[in-house]
Structure 1
Amino acid sequence: MKTKKIVITGGPGTGKSSIVKELERKGETCLHEISRQITLDARKDGIEQLFLSRPLLFSQKLLEGRLKQFHEATAFEADHIFIDRGLPDVIAYMDFFNTPYPQTFVNTCGKHRYDEIFFLPPWEEIYQSDNERYENFEEALKISSYLYKTYKDYGYKPIEVPKDSVEKRCRFILENL
């Protein structure tokens, strides 16, 4: 049985992590966002914001981690697995920050395909900053548009998740698999 890889994506502060945690609570198989862990690991090494100080290194680590998740998802014996952000997110952020990246980034995203993309639109009422989220809401809006465009450019048809309670958003996702 082929496990469907389903990405939950969207700009910062759109509720991705809350939705993934709720899906997991409901018994769904989920893989969590890894960028915060990369940021925390860099802080242990004395680098406050790895993405800001060495964006290509940060993005390379992120691409490698998401590629590892992609392969891990294939090993699960489940009908589907939810993944908090996918490989094209790396490209979208690099493009947003106008940071050059090697062709291997593009090749990796093109070669490793997800089955479904659920896109969470910007939502100012739930947006919050924290120690790892350094974007303001205006930047989050722009990042969101880069994410949507990047997935479209890779041939995906993202399904927009309505702004609603976490429970109703999860129900929408499960009903639209």
Structure 2
Amino acid sequence: MKQTSSKLYILTGGPGAGKTSVLNELNRNGFITVPEEGRRIIKEQISSNGTALPWKDKKRFADLMFGASVDTFQKMSKLASQAVFFDRGILDTIGYLKLEKIPVPEEMSLKAHEMKYHNNVFILPPWKEIYENDPERKQTLEVAKATFDCMKETYLEYGYNLIEVPKLTIEQRVEFILDIIENELKL
């Protein structure tokens, strides 16, 4: 994949690595942010007694997550002049399907190739000391590590450049991300 001038940035990795905390801090710093679609879908499914949950109907959950990610990408790409930060992206659904050993539909793969985020993707590594379960996050730390590996493999497969965000304070992580973007603009 060639370098893209897109200002749509992805934060990815396994669950419980601090993506949402970093995203919230970016939002407090005035950036446009997009929360994780999967977590929203899980909350909606739980409240409506739905079955499109990762522990009930993984394929239906992935389909909803992919559709929501595509819709959000399309909406946010209209804001092309501003940086937008996503808590996961379209490829995270493909990574999830691979992790769960569910075949990736060809139309998903084609759509993922068409809809380009910024070439630099920020990946947050598993971090045992901050990992917590909650009603939407039932995975073990081992599954979180496997998810990280799967996301890493998937983004690399699609030609993205992964930048691992170090295990620092939330503010330092945000500063790390913004420094990379700022230095990139100087090139």
Same fold (TM > 0.5): yes
Partner of 2:139: 135
Q: Against the structure 1 CA distance between its residues 48 and 64, is the aligned structure 2 distance closer, same or farther, given a 3 Å change threshold?
A: closer
* Distance apart, 1:43 and its partner CA: 1.8
The question of 1:29 aligning with 2:32 is answered: yes
Partner of 1:151: 155
Amino acid at match of 2:82: D
The question of 1:125 aligning with 2:132 is answered: no
How do 1:16-95 and structure 2 match up within 5 A?
Answer: 16-47=19-50, 50-76=53-79, 78-95=81-98
**Matches of 2:49 and 2:30, distance apart in 1:** 38
**Matches of 1:38 and 1:77, distance apart in 2:** 26
2:124 touches 2:166 (CA, 8 Å); kept in 1?
Answer: yes
Can you give the 5+ residue segments of structure 2 that lack an aligned partner in the other structure?
182-187
Q: Against the structure 1 CA distance between its residues 14 and 20, is the aligned structure 2 distance closer, same or farther, given a 3 Å change threshold?
A: same
Partner of 1:103: 106
Task: Could you list the structure 1 runs, at least 4 aligned residues long, displaced by more than 4 angstroms after superposition.
Answer: none
**Matches of 1:165 and 1:106, distance apart in 2:** 35
**Matches of 2:52 and 2:136, distance apart in 1:** 8
The answer to which of 108-117 and 10-19 deviates more is 108-117
State the secondary structure of the residue aligned to 2:12. strand
Overall identity of the aligned pairs, in %: 32
Scaled by the length of structure 2, the TM-score of the pair is 0.89
Partner of 1:5: 8
State the secondary structure of the residue aligned to 1:17. helix
1:71-105 residue CA offsets vs partner (Å, 9 max, x unmatched): 11112264311111011100111111111232111
* Distance apart, 1:47 and its partner CA: 3.2
Scaled by the length of structure 1, the TM-score of the pair is 0.94
The answer to which of 134-143 and 47-56 deviates more is 47-56
Can you give the 5+ residue segments of structure 1 that lack an aligned partner in the other structure?
none
